[in-house]
Structure 1
Amino acid sequence: MPQTPQNLDAAAVRTWCAKALATLGRERADIDAINVYPVADGDTGTNLYLTVESAAQAVEAVFAAHGTRAHEPGTAAYEPDVADTVRAMAHGALIGARGNSGTILAQLLRGVAERVGAGDHLPGALRRAAVLARDAVAHPVEGTILTVAGAAADAAGAVEPPEDTVRAARAAYEGARAALDATPGQLAVLGRAGVVDAGGRGLLAVLGALVAAVSGQEPAPGPVRHTGVPVPRAACADGGPAFEVIYLLEADDTAVARLRSRLDALGDSLVVVGGDGLWNVHVHVDDAGAAIEAGVEAGRPHRIRVTHFGTGGAPAPDPLPRPREEGRRAVVVVVPGEGLAELCAGAGARAVVARPGEPPASGELADAIRRAHAPEVVLLPNAAELRHTASAAADQARAEGIRVAIVPTRAAVQGLAALAVHEPDRRFDEDVVAMTAAAGATRCAELTVAERQSWTSAGVCQAGDVLGLIDGDVAVIGGDPTEVALAVLDRMLAAGGELVTLVLGDAAPAPAPAPERLERHVRDTHLAVDTVTYHAGRGSPLLLIGVE
């Protein structure tokens, strides 16, 4: 007889993740094929697979740390704690969640992690998971993954005693399977297409993996009706918003509550999951730029992904169709130096120079938008601290009938990346999406000089030290700007990259890094990585680095 743990432990959670990933890998094509709700875009299986893959990677990282510590001389073997393991699983799913169903699954795993980490048994964990997931969806609909999750929790809750994990897992699986089989009768679009809900089908696979993990036996393969049949688009739901927008957001609870209201007014399929300052936001909208801008106002969005829902490969109609005309779109960009202003002007953008200690006011940005003399304007603030200023300027311009979108660039190198893909002949939303994606794919670093002694994330710095900041955090402290820059480049490129952008400032208060040495180092050390260098002129940081 196989060993059957009476509650989830770290090893069982690890096995659960691995088996769920393997099962979704086998079944994702079938799940993709029956994806008709909320959008018939044929990717629910793939999205769930990628979400679980991120969860499994996070769990493996916990066990990798266990392996390292267990072999350190003079230390006792360290066993991963189940609370740490389930939290890692939930966090991995949160940061890697894809699509509507993947985002909901991440919240389900968060609920499981909350209760298992607190010592609760599986029925209580599944009940908490179902409640959290339903609360995360702006407008819950029956006949979806939420219904299946609720049925699984109800079935597990009927098991006595509740600490019998194997019986509870099997009951949850059977309850979910019965609920899934009933979904075509609950949601009209499923009934018309003759399929069960794709998200619920994926959740059933995850629950089947849980049964296998805690019991050592695969669940009975009883059939589920209406699966694995490719669905013609004619049978699917009516057309909805043009874009799916997903991003991670660092924000407090109050800001997220306001964000929910704003996004709910912009579109549909709104799901906001997470907590403790980190959230995953998912929404379908026609105005992708407005959805991203709402995130900028709420906090710090990153890992922004925007998907255009095409129909049969053809682009969706512009939600605000306008006649094509010369000069109808402009880009306004904030830059830290005259050299970059000239560079951006040469690329067709109107630049606003931010002087040291004198960031532009909202009125100055609004005036720059007006002077662009275009009905559509893309604004690149190029600084996290300017997000509220940029939003206020955009509101002023919109009140005057100008269509404005803010791409949430946090540094000049992200602005350059966005400007490089700008195409005024594209529809406005498509152009904003492309620029946002280019900026989001660019990691940022900066060299500056410490003004005083201070504690940093890299240790104590003294006045006059050269600091290398990566994404706003001090990563390297040194005395020679070139050596600090080389260390920063190596850290950034360790995660991969294809293009390095170097933006050099004036040699004050420290000598500028030697661009020739930086370019040669990248060329010799990091093969197949290109480098481009710009000179920003006075007022800019010592060095800005972008890695795409």
Structure 2
Amino acid sequence: MQALDAVAVRQWADACVRSLDANRDDIDRINVFPVPDGDTGTNLSQTMRSAQDSLLRTPVDSVGQALAALARGALAGARGNSGVILSQVLRGLAEAAQDAATAGAQAIRRALHRADELATAAVSRPVPGTVLTVLHAAAEAARDCPSDNLDDVVTAAAKAGALALADTPRQLAVLAEAGVVDAGAKGLVVLLDTLVAVITGRPLDVPFAASPPRTPESLTTAREAGSAEYEYEVMYLLDGASDTDLLKQRLAALGDCVSVVGDGADLWTVHVHCNDIGAAVEAGIAHGRPHRITVARFADQITAQAPRFVRDRAVVVLVEGEGAAELFRSEGAVVAEPTDNPADLLAVVVSTRARHVTLLPGDPDLREPLEEAVAQAVASGQDVVVVPTFSPVQALSALAVHDPSRRPGDDVVAMAEAAAATRRGEVKVSEREAITWVGRCQPGDLLGMLDGEVVLVEPGPADVPALSCRLVDRMLAGGGELVTVLLGEEAPEGLDEVLENHLRVAHPEVELAAYRGGQPGAVLSVGVE
């Protein structure tokens, strides 16, 4: 690979999350500077996961946009000092590739140099032998690399970072005494190694799934830097900051480990160790709008960040109407409203936190945005399959045969077969004049549709129950044992009773299942199995 593009950035983000998860406990164990028993590995993992989630929720088509999405997510979800520094590393990469569709060797050189500048500026008192030392070494090695091949440049940066990491105990006595390297620097080397693996195509020697979370008893909120006299870590996001230098001064008077870093636009992350929590928040109020305020007491235990996938299987149904949504939820599905925005669809898939996701769209018009959302989810390591369902009743049929105990592939096949075996019908009011297979219709006419085609037209104002019965009769002409109806928002009262009485007389062998769906603008959705 001689140019980093948006797809490669997604691959790198996923690889970083997996690598940091796999190395999390080891990095936590070596966190001895300046206070032992830290959570550097956990904080890096959580920050990178936030960055990846931001990328998954953002439609991107260039390397600059992809890196910017990562930087925004890392800044918004930064945990601890190491998370703040990571957010600035990603911001530096994003700024260097801001307007580029792809990034080659020269862009990576500029990106690492800018990352070095921003990360150093984020720390009030830089100390040799830390992540900043390793980042600087990597940036200089990329700059001095004689080759203009992208793989050579990133490999040189990663090797220099690894050498600088090995040298950290010679620069910090506390590391030498403990016989370890710097924890934050180790995390950076992990990220550089994953970048080399993505660009060179070498397989990553880490497990695909996140490592199991540690027990709450094994975790304590630890200080990654600063004096032990301060009991709390206060962090918040700040919008519209007016004077960040003055804010830093006010926070420095309250405690230590002060950082106020931004995304290059209008969002800032504020971090301080202090004893007066209220004063730290009030300082932010005086200079902008604080939100997402988090306070951690260093003596308290915290729960571990859950792995990316917290369950094996999920079924997502895209449907409108409160009644229909509640019906699908009662069957165990995740319900979301249909949308033609791929980013919103991707957010729904990602939020399930399921390894295998089956999508039941219930609307043929969603095919293209779904394809884009699914492609991004699959590229990030999630298994997503769309079962062709063109109406809510077909989605109901598919969900009825869903069996989590089956293999995912077999389950999808069974759901697809059930949906395909369900004939779909609809009663709706015409919105415009048109030519149909059975003649012209005018606005306000009542339409009976079968598998997407108009088969009945009743001039308005029409007899809804009568046309509904005629449509059901037509659908049952080819046989059937079960009629499922969803009553839309426009369905008249008692329509389900009319259909039940009609079937009892005309088709006594057929069972009726009727539900109040409440779909906006709809009269009736019918399924025949």
Alignment TM-score, normalising by the size of structure 1:
0.49
Tell me the equivalent position of 2:424.
Answer: none
- Of residues 250, 253, 266, the one that matches 1:265 is 253
Confirm or deny: 8 A CA contact 2:55 2:66 kept in the other structure: yes
Distance 1:109 1:145, change over 3 A: same
Alignment of 1:12-31 (within 5 A): 12-31=8-27
- Of residues 61, 74, 98, the one that matches 2:79 is 98
Amino acid at match of 2:20: L
Amino acid at match of 2:247: L
Tell me the equivalent position of 1:248.
Answer: 237
Alignment of 1:58-457 (within 5 A): 58-62=54-58, 65=59, 80-119=61-100, 121-162=107-148, 164-218=149-203, 239-252=228-241, 254-274=242-262, 275-310=264-299
Confirm or deny: 8 A CA contact 2:65 2:98 kept in the other structure: yes
Poorly superposed stretches of 4+, deviation over 4 Å: 218-221
Confirm or deny: 8 A CA contact 1:152 1:175 kept in the other structure: yes
Tell me the equivalent position of 2:348.
Answer: none
1:9 aligns with 2:5: yes
1:50 aligns with 2:42: no
Cα distance in 1 for partners of 2:196, 2:132 equals: 20
Amino acid at match of 1:56: Q
Percent identity of equivalent pairs: 47
Confirm or deny: 8 A CA contact 1:269 1:282 kept in the other structure: yes
Confirm or deny: 8 A CA contact 1:41 1:309 kept in the other structure: no
Once the two structures are TM-superposed, the CA of residue 251 in structure 1 deviates from its matched residue by 2.6
Q: Residue 234 of structure 2: SS of its match in structure 1?
A: strand
Cα distance in 1 for partners of 2:86, 2:161 equals: 14
Confirm or deny: 8 A CA contact 1:170 1:219 kept in the other structure: no
Distance 1:19 1:180, change over 3 A: same
Alignment of 1:507-526 (within 5 A): none
Once the two structures are TM-superposed, the CA of residue 61 in structure 1 deviates from its matched residue by 1.9
Cα distance in 1 for partners of 2:38, 2:130 equals: 16
Q: Work out which of the two has the higher radius of gyration on C-alpha atoms and give 1 or 2.
A: 2
Amino acid at match of 2:94: A
Cα distance in 1 for partners of 2:49, 2:12 equals: 12
Once the two structures are TM-superposed, the CA of residue 210 in structure 1 deviates from its matched residue by 0.7
Amino acid at match of 1:243: Y
Confirm or deny: 8 A CA contact 1:145 1:197 kept in the other structure: yes
Deviation track 1:241-279 (CA, whole Å, cap 9, x = no partner) reads 211111111133x42111011112222122222132110
Cα distance in 2 for partners of 1:92, 1:171 equals: 28
Confirm or deny: 8 A CA contact 2:226 2:256 kept in the other structure: no
Cα distance in 2 for partners of 1:36, 1:298 equals: 35
Tell me the equivalent position of 2:467.
Answer: none
Distance 1:219 1:151, change over 3 A: farther
Amino acid at match of 2:48: V
Distance 1:136 1:312, change over 3 A: closer
Amino acid at match of 1:267: G
Once the two structures are TM-superposed, the CA of residue 128 in structure 1 deviates from its matched residue by 0.5
Distance 1:17 1:311, change over 3 A: closer
Deviation track 1:225-250 (CA, whole Å, cap 9, x = no partner) reads xxxxx9xx9xx997342111111111
Cα distance in 2 for partners of 1:285, 1:27 equals: 30
Bigger mean CA deviation after superposition, 151-160 or 264-273: 264-273
Distance 1:268 1:192, change over 3 A: farther
Alignment TM-score, normalising by the size of structure 2:
0.50
Cα distance in 1 for partners of 2:8, 2:246 equals: 39
Tell me the equivalent position of 1:486.
Answer: none
Q: Residue 298 of structure 1: SS of its match in structure 2?
A: coil
Distance 1:243 1:255, change over 3 A: same
Q: Residue 304 of structure 1: SS of its match in structure 2?
A: strand
Unaligned residue ranges in structure 2 (runs of 5+) = 101-105, 207-217, 303-516, 518-529
Cα distance in 1 for partners of 2:226, 2:253 equals: 21
Cα distance in 2 for partners of 1:39, 1:247 equals: 23
Cα distance in 2 for partners of 1:89, 1:312 equals: 29
Cα distance in 1 for partners of 2:26, 2:44 equals: 12
Cα distance in 2 for partners of 1:16, 1:312 equals: 32
Once the two structures are TM-superposed, the CA of residue 311 in structure 1 deviates from its matched residue by 8.5
Cα distance in 2 for partners of 1:240, 1:179 equals: 31
Q: Residue 121 of structure 1: SS of its match in structure 2?
A: helix
Distance 1:136 1:304, change over 3 A: same
Cα distance in 1 for partners of 2:155, 2:6 equals: 19
Q: Report the count of equivalent residues.
A: 283
